Structure 1
């Protein structure tokens, strides 16, 4: 398979779920230097070990990082540049679902925790990544080349309202904020050769969603998916790969919806 990707890739939430599978997909398509970040250092080892098993020539750097902490984020980007010299692809994937309560039942501390990770975390990472990307020259010749590519994990719930059944008020609001940040910075930094897009998954069989669906509450929502199934994590990872690659070189500020048709059904 021809390599679509090259350069240094930085992934948050890389210990499991979509972040982990994004690491596998990007390595499969050519990336050989991966920085894997997660607040849980123990799970990062399983991702890096599997990457080495599949691609023995891949270099990995595991970093324990809390996306909600400015010093932690800045240190992770600094370590990336110290180890590999630059930062070419950033996947800002770390996020949480929240307390699963509607506004009237929501505690302020729970709301703030969701925004600390899902919004402030993406902004802190994106700011540090942009600052580094502005300093470096493109790996590929323009116009299809760039100084760097950022892909933020939003959600189909960053584009539409959540169902009352899902009790996802804070999560939905946070993912709308991610879309606003993605669009604004995409316009600002496009002239500088930096592309910023978001992936908007629908209902995907992540550990987080499978746990939430164990009691059957979400069965009715999943039944509304026109394709009649949950998405696979590999399918979302492949879409992230597309946004990170030159195949999407004329896309910036977009939200790529990968939801089995849910939002148009």
Structure 2
């Protein structure tokens, strides 16, 4: 299925690889202008090159989502380059250390929370300011790069719906879902829809690193997914793009598992 995003402008954080890259590419393939944001410059620029080589429009901005000034500048880049902001996929995140609760370090807890939860909040803060800058709250779900309404998808995880993963990671991803629901209810009258996706075990660089360090744990999680395989970044991107399209115009405040059936058990 294809979605018409012609004339829309999208931001994707964590766009240098994995789910972020595939989502950015899919947004562009649907006609959107894409701001690719990441702390990894080389990977972010590669994503832009991939989009442009396929005939799409994209620009890269180096962004640390824990830095309010950097996040504000990221949103301003969308406005300055493409005239506004319609769509955002707040995807940047890390796994962190996987030690049990009593063995977690304060430094790891803080880093995971800063990136995975505070980073999503900062992105929402500045994205919502732009999306509602001239909103009239008339209930019209259409948006036209003019600061009126929009759609946002945050990346949570199956760890946000279960006890999967380490304590810091699971707590941060549960927090993303709570933040998503509150933002959705607070900004519904401003025509902004806010949802979350909850990926299962997906073939991403983060999972590949975890598999190298804890192969038995990854195999166990894959085995708990009834489809009995890893998902692909493209499959998560498909869900994100649908949620940001007019096909999902009556969908907000939800956390969607894309997990091969993991949370159904």
Q: TM-score range by the shorter chain?
A: over 0.9
| CA–CA separation in structure 2 for the residues paired with 1:206 and 1:91 | 17
- Name the counterpart of 1:158: 160
How much has 1:80 moved relative to structure 2?
1.7
Q: In structure 1, which of residues 70, 78, 101 is the aligned counterpart of residue 99 of structure 2?
A: 101
Q: What is the aligned residue count?
A: 256
Q: What does 1:94-173 align with in structure 2 at a 5 Å threshold? A: 94-136=92-134, 143-146=140-143, 147-162=149-164, 166=165, 168-173=166-171
- Name the counterpart of 1:246: 246
SS in 2 for 1:217: helix
How much has 1:144 moved relative to structure 2?
3.9
- Name the counterpart of 1:217: 216
Query: CA contact under 8 A between 2:18 and 2:233: conserved in structure 1?
Result: yes
SS in 2 for 1:196: strand
How much has 1:29 moved relative to structure 2?
2.0
- Name the counterpart of 1:22: 23
Deviation per CA, 1:190-232, whole angstroms, max 9, x where unpaired? 0111110001111111111122113422212211110010001
- Name the counterpart of 1:73: 71
Root-mean-square deviation over aligned CA pairs: 1.6
CA separation of 1:137 and 1:5: change in aligned 2, threshold 3 A: farther
| CA–CA separation in structure 2 for the residues paired with 1:248 and 1:160 | 25
Query: CA contact under 8 A between 1:86 and 1:136: conserved in structure 2?
Result: no
| CA–CA separation in structure 1 for the residues paired with 2:102 and 2:251 | 39
SS in 2 for 1:242: helix
Deviation per CA, 1:172-200, whole angstroms, max 9, x where unpaired? 00000000000001000001111100011
Q: Which runs of 5+ in 1 are unaligned?
A: none
TM-score by length of 2: 0.92
- Name the counterpart of 2:146: none
| CA–CA separation in structure 2 for the residues paired with 1:53 and 1:70 | 32
SS in 1 for 2:151: strand
SS in 1 for 2:193: strand
Deviation per CA, 1:34-72, whole angstroms, max 9, x where unpaired? 101001111111101111111x2x222210010001111
Q: Which runs of 5+ in 2 are unaligned?
A: 144-148
SS in 2 for 1:63: strand
- Name the counterpart of 1:49: 49
- Name the counterpart of 1:227: 227
How much has 1:117 moved relative to structure 2?
0.3
